[in-house]
Structure 1
Amino acid sequence: MHRTTPVRRALALATAALTTLTLTLVGPGQAEPAQAAIGGITWQDEFNAPAGTPVDQSKWRFDIGGGGWGNNERQYYTSSTSNAVHDGQGNLVITARRENPNNYQCHYGRCEYTSARLLTAQTFTQTYGRFEARIKIPRGQGIWPAFWMLGNDIGSVGWPNSGEIDIMENIGREPTTVHGTIHGPGYSGGGGITGSRTVGAPLADGFHTYRVDWEPNSIIWFLDGVEFFRVDPSRLGGNRWVFDHPFFMILNVAVGGNWPGYPDASTQFPQQMLVDYVRVSSYVPGGNTGTTRLRQAHSGRCVDIPSANPVDGAKLQIWDCNTTAAQQWTFASDGTVRAMGKCMDPAWAGTANGTEVNLVTCNGNPVQRFTLSPAGDLVNISANRCVDVRDRATGNGGKLHLWDCTGHASQKWSRY
């Protein structure tokens, strides 16, 4: 969650609201989002136990207490089936309840509310992949549901150095808006790097899928399968990227706090978050590593360095596929695509339609990172645009450039 740690009485974080970035949704004629190299399911909970069954503790454990959780929250988290239980209809139900304030002691006095916070820190962690849940969130002023992740090294390096990935957060006063955020050293609390999507009806009216696709140097957020936000190291203003080690998942419903504010007379209790499933899929580095020729579907020709001369600024082209070094491309672990000792590069770090794709000395600039999606899109991650051939030329010598991903065969590439 924004501005939080898993340790009681942790840092009191900034109270300023996050500066959010609402991105234009993908529509006809707009860029299709890049797809991560995602493999099979590695962990899942479908919550299909009979009604009244407690949480499966081989998958989830509980944080317990009322320490404010770094945000001046007002709930006491319990492990009781009163706050987290299977409903017998395929859902986990996390319930926030108004309580007798004499029953629970909080950092500020007596707690008025109970809820639950489930985590996989002791049962499951993973680096990279797809993390997705189908959730019907609760509603109301001061209600704060979240599906999020923390770095598993938080106990040794502390927060925010461990990193935090907020897959889904909603605050009750914004019923139609989902937020996705990262926190790390130099960009935590109110300074988290965040994006949002606003829809036409309250998210609490029905189930929605919330997901991130997390790859080396890239995290992409989706609501109901539609991308709405992405980050990479270039977004951090020179601060350190800490999303390269295992993370664990958290599901919770907070009540009150610096960001959402506190319940008022309009807030009804109990409030419930229903979770249909949580699924995690693997990241498949083999989808984006190794040496290969890159063959275009439209022309049948391959990405080529002109005259096999690897000078800086060489304008990459398509040419009859052959076995020369000029067509031997390596997908490196840092996300670069290399041949003859140099990197595929958008000219002058450009991200606009029509930016030439050249060969340049590898320099560590994030704009030199590309991914080959399962759909065959060779996408520049910084631009979120596809490698294409100018004017959809099919003959030898057609020059490469970046363009909005349209699904045309001119933008489809395969290993060959």
Structure 2
Amino acid sequence: MAAALFGAAPSATPAAAQQAPAQQAPAQQAPAQQAVAQQTAAHPVAAAQSWGDDFDGPAGAAVDPAKWTVETGGSGNGNHELQYYTAGAANAALDGQGHLVITARRNTDAGLGCWYGTCQYTSARLNTARTFAQAYGHFESRIKIPRGQGIWPAFWMLGNDIGTVNWPNSGEIDVMENIGREPGTVHGTIHGPGYSGAGGIGAPYSLPAGQAFADDFHVFAVDWSPSALTWSVDGRAYQTRTPADLGGDRWVFDHPFFVILNLAVGGDWPGSPDGSSAFPQTMVVDYVHATTSGTDPLPYTGRITGPGGMCVDVAGASSADRTPIQLHNCTGNAAQQWTVGLDGTVRALGKCLDVDAASHSDGAVIQLYTCNGTGAQQWSYGAGHDLVNTGSGKCLDSPNGSSADGTRLQLWTCNGTPAQRWTLG
């Protein structure tokens, strides 16, 4: 996690995972990718659940050991964290109402030692390293996070080969982390060889109008395919990462990862609690679910239809650069045969669906152009049947919802209307 890399948890974690570099706030790279805010998560996944925990059980019970390993220790986890992670139900217990409650509190045991001396705080960290790991799919948790300076909750994943290749070669996916001084903001980040620690690649998501995440439950998720990761909050995607974001570094998100939940106190990124920090603080987890990606509609080749059942069409069936894209009566010809790929491109006639001049402006022309790998040609097909240009965070749109033959398509702020609803097939 940018909230504590997989660090020193004696006896409860794989041996090779017990050393990790200090972690700082991840670099917020590729601003165009960050602009995917307020969109539906890409690549709808199968409804079939592959793993999950709804935390049903009596109040005070520990988590199911057939699903979770409870880590222990006060090593600082490579981040100079201040808490001691306790065993059993001392700091992680069911509430009898279908929730797991992870509690961070001030330590009263003078014999409990941390890396800096007597531990100031206790908390809990759980992982599925011994019970569940999966490559690709949809990973989701509904959480009400705590608040306060120095408080650091996280829902994240690590590659299951960490015991042999070590971090960051194993890869790390931070689905959600928050530092208490940012009550309305969470972060999603990836770490790997050449882009770890403070160089992690990620983006923040902020609630509108000064709202705080600690005030209510929110759903944090990542959709993971072989060539992309898309983060969402409450079903609204806010960033997509692909190998193109790595600047030539290795994409390591190609093997199973396991799940981690934890609540850290202090550390290099959030800093220590201060006089404004109140304890105890609780991270309340409603559920954690994982589903497979078996019904992902991509890759797809065929027609794309929009308003009035009209087809997305290359004007004049021309393959020349800058040929406008329009709506047209469906004819089945090559100008209406599109390939929506896992690489984020939408192609016809050997060229790519493109935003003219890589514009982020409403009304920008959508055209055909030689494929070049830029954000102007990266598209995400969402569960709401929108086509989001991930370079701008805006949607493929028919002006005023027109279904007239020859309507030229444009880029427009995503609004969920039929003017932006596209059907594959």
Aligning the two structures, in what range does the TM-score lie when normalised by the shorter sequence?
0.7 to 0.9
1:321 maps to what in 2? Answer: 330
| 1:398–1:16 distance in 2 versus 1, CA, 3 Å | closer
Match of 1:257 among 260, 267, 281: 267
- How much has 1:195 moved relative to structure 2? 1.0
TM-score, normalising length: structure 2: 0.83
Q: Which moved further from structure 2: 190-199 or 228-237? A: 228-237
2:196 maps to what in 1? Answer: 188
1:351-390 matches, within 5 Å, as 351-390=360-399
Q: Secondary structure at the match of 1:132?
A: strand
What runs of 5+ residues in structure 1 fail to find an aligned partner? none
1:137-156 matches, within 5 Å, as 137-156=145-164
- How much has 1:313 moved relative to structure 2? 3.2
Q: Which moved further from structure 2: 285-294 or 385-394? A: 385-394
Specify the code of the residue in structure 1 equivalent to 2:76: G
- How much has 1:216 moved relative to structure 2? 5.0
**C-alpha separation in 2, matches of 1:210 and 1:318:** 36
2:2 maps to what in 1? Answer: 2
1:166-177 matches, within 5 Å, as 166-177=174-185
Specify the code of the residue in structure 2 equivalent to 1:5: L
- How much has 1:233 moved relative to structure 2? 4.9
1:179 maps to what in 2? Answer: 187
Q: Secondary structure at the match of 1:287?
A: coil
**C-alpha separation in 1, matches of 2:283 and 2:244:** 35
Q: Which moved further from structure 2: 57-66 or 404-413? A: 404-413
- How much has 1:76 moved relative to structure 2? 2.0
Specify the code of the residue in structure 1 equivalent to 2:166: G
Q: Which moved further from structure 2: 1-10 or 87-96? A: 1-10
Q: Secondary structure at the match of 1:156?
A: helix
Match status 1:37 vs 2:47? no
- RMSD over aligned CA atoms reads 3.2
Q: Secondary structure at the match of 2:198?
A: helix
TM-score, normalising length: structure 1: 0.85
Match of 1:291 among 276, 284, 301: 301
Match status 1:350 vs 2:347? no
Asked if the contact 1:34–1:384 (Cα under 8 Å) also holds between the matched residues in 2, the reply is no
Q: Secondary structure at the match of 1:283?
A: coil
Q: Which moved further from structure 2: 115-124 or 189-198? A: 189-198
| 1:301–1:135 distance in 2 versus 1, CA, 3 Å | closer
Q: Per-residue CA shift, 1:251-291, capped at 9, x if unaligned?
A: 11112211222234554444332211112233356423222
Q: Which moved further from structure 2: 226-235 or 373-382? A: 226-235
| 1:322–1:160 distance in 2 versus 1, CA, 3 Å | same
- How much has 1:70 moved relative to structure 2? 0.6
Q: Which moved further from structure 2: 288-297 or 223-232? A: 223-232
Asked if the contact 1:58–1:123 (Cα under 8 Å) also holds between the matched residues in 2, the reply is yes
Q: Per-residue CA shift, 1:155-193, capped at 9, x if unaligned?
A: 333323333222222233334433333333343323333
Identity %: 50
**C-alpha separation in 2, matches of 1:143 and 1:329:** 48
Match of 1:211 among 214, 221, 224: 221
Specify the code of the residue in structure 2 equivalent to 1:288: L
Q: Per-residue CA shift, 1:278-325, capped at 9, x if unaligned?
A: 122333564232221112223x32122344343333322222212222
Q: Per-residue CA shift, 1:204-259, capped at 9, x if unaligned?
A: 34433333344455444444444455545555555544444432211111122112
2:172 maps to what in 1? Answer: 164
Asked if the contact 2:2–2:25 (Cα under 8 Å) also holds between the matched residues in 1, the reply is no
**C-alpha separation in 2, matches of 1:413 and 1:68:** 49
Specify the code of the residue in structure 1 equivalent to 2:86: T
Q: Secondary structure at the match of 2:204?
A: strand
Match of 1:273 among 279, 283, 293: 283
**C-alpha separation in 1, matches of 2:22 and 2:130:** 26
1:26-65 matches, within 5 Å, as 32-33=39-40, 35-40=42-47, 41-65=49-73
Asked if the contact 2:41–2:231 (Cα under 8 Å) also holds between the matched residues in 1, the reply is no
1:393-408 matches, within 5 Å, as 393-408=402-417
**C-alpha separation in 1, matches of 2:322 and 2:28:** 38
Match status 1:105 vs 2:121? no
Asked if the contact 1:34–1:379 (Cα under 8 Å) also holds between the matched residues in 2, the reply is no
Q: Per-residue CA shift, 1:81-136, capped at 9, x if unaligned?
A: 11222121211122223334543333333333332111122222233333222222
What runs of 5+ residues in structure 2 fail to find an aligned partner? 9-17
**C-alpha separation in 1, matches of 2:25 and 2:288:** 31
**C-alpha separation in 2, matches of 1:180 and 1:277:** 19
Q: Per-residue CA shift, 1:7-64, capped at 9, x if unaligned?
A: 326344255786698x8997xxxx7546432321332211111123221122211222
Q: Which moved further from structure 2: 187-196 or 63-72? A: 187-196
| 1:216–1:390 distance in 2 versus 1, CA, 3 Å | farther
2:349 maps to what in 1? Answer: 340
- How much has 1:80 moved relative to structure 2? 1.8
2:15 maps to what in 1? Answer: none
